[in-house]
Structure 1
Amino acid sequence: YNTHQFGTYDDCLLLAKESLQSGKALNSFNLLIK
């Protein structure tokens, strides 16, 4: 069983942070359109 195949735990956290930030940016962008 190789965890590196799925990336490290830190990679998962980083990915989650980035998706969260882009999600926030998208939300504020939608608010600007409205």
Structure 2
Amino acid sequence: MLLSLVMSLQHVCLEIKLRFIDELVTDTRLSDW
């Protein structure tokens, strides 16, 4: 139970990081234009 909770938390953190990086990359590209 605890392990699955930790795994799901890690997954959520990873999703947030990926979205954050994606946003940053998009912002950088837009500012380049």
Answer whether TM exceeds 0.5 for this pair.
Answer: yes
May I ask how many residue pairs the two structures share in their alignment? 30
Bigger shift: residues 7-16 or 17-26: 7-16
Q: Which runs of 5+ in 1 are unaligned?
A: none
Q: Percent identity?
A: 7
Instruction: Tell me what 2:32 maps to.
Output: 33
TM-score (norm 1): 0.75
Aligned structure 1 segments of 4 or more residues deviating by more than 6 angstroms: none
Q: Which runs of 5+ in 2 are unaligned?
A: none
Q: Over aligned residues, Cα RMSD in angstroms?
A: 1.9
